[in-house]
C-alpha cells in the first residue's frame, strides 16, 4: 500500500558517496563490465545488465557486509513515519550519489524467500519467461535470502514484482532486537525501514524455447539501508511494516517516465501474474 509520496527531488553527494552505482572496469574490446552497486567502493551487488533483454537480477557480492543505519533519525523510524519525512530523506540521501529520487512511504508485508525454495522469483516466474541459463543449465541465483512483498500487472504484457533486498542476510541479525521488534509490531504497524530503490525492466529479445510465459518484467528492488531487524520481525510474525523508499530514477534500468509512474502503480491491489 502506498501511504505517501512526493515529487522527484535531487539528493546525494558529489564526492565519495557511501553507496553508488556503476560499471566494473572491463577491457575496451570486451563485453561491457557488470552493472554494480558499490558500498564504500567495494562491489556489493551485481544488478540487471544494461541491455534490457537479460534477466532482472540482484546478486549479493562480498562488499554487501554492513547496514547503513543513521543514529540521529533512528528514534523517528522506530516510532514510525506517517508521511514522507524530509529530514529522514535528506539524512539517507547523504549516503547516495547525486541524482533524482522519488521518495515513497509504503506499508509492506514481507515474506522471507530462500533461493531455489518455494516462492523464489528466480526459479519460478523468471524461469517461465527466460528459461534456465543456457550455459549453467540453472536459474539465476541471488546469493542471498530476500523478501517478496507485492506484485501487480502494469498491463497484460507487463508485470511488476517487488522485492526487499537486505544488505546483510537475516542470519546476521541480532536475535534480541528481532524479538523486540516482534513485540513492537504486535502493537503498531508504523515502525519504518529505509531503502534505496531501483526499477529494472527487462524482457527477452525472443521467447526462449523452454519458456512458458513471455512478458516484460518490472523489478522494483528495495535495497535496505536501515531496518533489517524490523523487516525480519514483520516477516516472522506475518505483520506489516513501513518502508521509506528512495527510488533512484537516474540509476534504474528503466526510463524516467516509467520510474515516475511507480507511485501510481503502487496503489494497485496485489495480483499475481496468473490472476491478471
**Per-residue pLDDT tens over the stretch 72-113:** 999 999 999 999 999 999 999 999 999 999 999 999 999 999
Mean pLDDT of 150-167: 97
Per-residue pLDDT, averaged over 112-129, amounts to 96
State the average pLDDT over residues 31-49. 92
Cell numbers at 26, concatenated: 572491463
DSSP state of 267: T
- Distance between CA atoms of residues 255 and 18, nearest Å: 25
pLDDT value, residue 275: 58
Mean pLDDT for 116-140 is 91
Cell digits of residue 274: 496468473
Q: What is the pLDDT of residue 28?
A: 67
Residue 141 vs residues 26, 121, 127, 193, 235: alpha-carbon distances, Å:
23, 10, 12, 25, 21
For 105, the domain range is 2-275
Q: What is residue 7's DSSP assignment?
A: -
How many C-beta neighbours within 10 Å does residue 254 have? 22
* Beta pairing class for 192-202 and 241-248: parallel
CA–CA separation, 45 vs 38, rounded Å? 7
pLDDT for residue 276 is more than 70: no
- Residue that has been written with the C-alpha cell 567502493 in this structure: 41
Given pLDDT bands bounded at 50, 70 and 90, which one contains residue 25?
confident
β 158-165/9-11 pair status: unpaired
Cα–Cα distance, 12 to 10 (Å, whole number): 7
CA distance 247 to 250: 9
The x, y and z cell numbers of residue 18, run together, are 557511501
Digit-coded pLDDT (tens) for 206-217: 766 667 899 999
Give the pLDDT of residue 176: 98
Q: Average per-residue pLDDT in the chain?
A: 94
Residue 111: exposure state from Cβ atoms within 10 A (0-12, 13-18, ≥19): middle
Summary count for the chain: helices (H), strands (E):
7, 13
Helical H runs in the chain?
Answer: 74-79, 86-93, 125-130, 175-187, 228-237, 256-260, 262-265
163-200 tens-digit pLDDT: 999 999 999 999 999 999 999 999 998 999 999 999 99
pLDDT at 32 over 60: yes
**pLDDT at residue 44 greater than cutoff 60:** yes
User: Helix 175-187 crosses helix 228-237 at what angle (to 10 degrees)?
Assistant: 60
Percent of the chain with pLDDT over 90: 85
The pLDDT value recorded for residue 26 is: 66
Cell of 209: 524455447
Task: Give the sheet arrangement for strand 58-60, strand by strand.
Answer: 19-23, 35-39, 42-47, 58-60
Contacts of 111 (CB under 8 A, 6+ apart): 119, 147, 148, 149, 235
Average pLDDT estimate for 229-239? 98
Per-residue pLDDT tens over the stretch 48-67: 998 888 899 999 999 999 99
Task: Please tell me the pTM assigned to this model.
Answer: 0.95
Give dist(CA 241, CA 191) in Å, integer.
6
User: How many domains does the chain fold into?
Assistant: 1
Amino acid at each position: 500500500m502506498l501511504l505517501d509520496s512526493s515529487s522527484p527531488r535531487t539528493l546525494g553527494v558529489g564526492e565519495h558517496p557511501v553507496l553508488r552505482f556503476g560499471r566494473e572496469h572491463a577491457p575496451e574490446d570486451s563485453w561491457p563490465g557488470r552493472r554494480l552497486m558499490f558500498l564504500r567502493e567495494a562491489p556489493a551487488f551485481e544488478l540487471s545488465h544494461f541491455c534490457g533483454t537479460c534477466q532482472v537480477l540482484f546478486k549479493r557480492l562480498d562488499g554487501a557486509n554492513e547496514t547503513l543505519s543513521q543514529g540521529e533519525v533512528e528514534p523517528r523510524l522506530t516510532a514510525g513515519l506517517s508521511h514522507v519525512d524530509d529530514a529522514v530523506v535528506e539524512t539517507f540521501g547523504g549516503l547516495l550519489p547525486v541524482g533524482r529520487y522519488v521518495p515513497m512511504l509504503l506499508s509492506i508485508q514481507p515474506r522471507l524467500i530462500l533461493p531455489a525454495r518455494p516462492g523464489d522469483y528466480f526459479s519460478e516466474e523468471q524461469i517461465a519467461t527466460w528459461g534456465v541459463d543456457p550455459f549453467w543449465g540453472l536459474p539465476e541465483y541471488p546469493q542471498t535470502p530476500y523478501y517478496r512483498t507485492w506484485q501487480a500487472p502494469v498491463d497484460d504484457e507487463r508485470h511488476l514484482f517487488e522485492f526487499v533486498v537486505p544488505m546483510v542476510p537475516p542470519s546476521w541479525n541480532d536475535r534480541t532486537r528481532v524479538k523486540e521488534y516482534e513485540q513492537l509490531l504486535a502493537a503498531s504497524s508504523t515502525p519504518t525501514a529505509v531503502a534505496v530503490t531501483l526499477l529494472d525492466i527487462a524482457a527477452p529479445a525472443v521467447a526462449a524455447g523452454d519458456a512458458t510465459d513471455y512478458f516484460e518484467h518490472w523489478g522494483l528492488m528495495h535495497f535496505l539501508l536501515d531496518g533489517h531487524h524490523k523487516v525480519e520481525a514483520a516477516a516472522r510474525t506475518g505483520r506489516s511494516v513501513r518502508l521509506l523508499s528512495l527510488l533512484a530514477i537516474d540509476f534504474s534500468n528503466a526510463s524516467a517516465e516509467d520510474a515516475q509512474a511507480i507511485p501510481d502503480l503502487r496503489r494497485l491491489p496485489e495480483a499475481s501474474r496468473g490472476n491478471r
